Amino acid sequence: MSRQRSAGAILNMLGLLGISLVLAVAFYYQLALGELPCPLCLLQRAGFIAIGMGFLFNLRIGERASHYAMILVASLVTGFISIRQVSLHLTPGDPGYGSTLFGLHFYTWALIAAVGVICYVAVVFVLKDLAGERNGAGHVPTNGLASNAAFTIFALLVAANLLSTVLECGAGQCDDNPVRYLLLK
């Protein structure tokens, strides 16, 4: 594997691991602190899963512009969902929804992360251009041990989030302010 191709693989794997970290922290707060995600929180998680799928596709299928487009569109949608939730809690005296991490609520962190992913993809494009990866270079799928580990971590987090969402909401609409798992009454 050439240096340029491994650079693209490393950057996409780091992106996938970063998204996995976002999902893991949210899932930790859900399980350890009993903070069930609201419907907008679940949409933000779905957005991060879509972002992660773009990075995963680049690793497994090969780097393509359409995969990066998926990452960027999912980041924009996730950012808009986060902006919506931030705007719901702007009134003076509103304590916000859920606990905080370093003084910011998770929906604020989701907005920061979505913008961060867009910037990260821009940096990936610049680094690929500087490395001479143009017009089809770097399109080789990666199936090494590290790539497989990143895939497994992400897949387990996606499955766990899907299961917890079904337990929380059942087959219907989720509660606006969930306090229990609907299917575990």
CB 52 within 8 A of CB 19: yes
CB 68 within 8 A of CB 62: no
CB 178 within 8 A of CB 168: yes
CB 7 within 8 A of CB 131: yes
CA distances from 139 to 62, 176, 183 (A): 5, 43, 44
CB 19 within 8 A of CB 54: no
pTM: 0.90
Provide the 3-class DSSP secondary structure of residue 65: helix
What is the rounded distance in angstroms from the CA atom of residue 39 to the CA atom of residue 162? Answer: 13
Angular region, 105: left φ>0, alpha ψ -120 to 50, beta rest: beta
* pLDDT (tens place) for every residue of the chain, 185 residues total: 444 345 788 899 999 999 999 999 999 999 999 899 999 999 999 999 999 999 999 999 989 999 999 999 999 999 999 999 999 998 888 888 888 899 999 999 999 999 999 999 999 988 888 877 665 544 566 678 888 999 999 999 999 999 999 999 988 888 888 888 988 87
Closest to 124 measured CA to CA, from 47, 65, 75: 65
Beta bridge partners of 104: 101
CB 88 within 8 A of CB 111: no
CB 23 within 8 A of CB 165: no
Per-residue pLDDT at 1: 42
CB 166 within 8 A of CB 183: yes
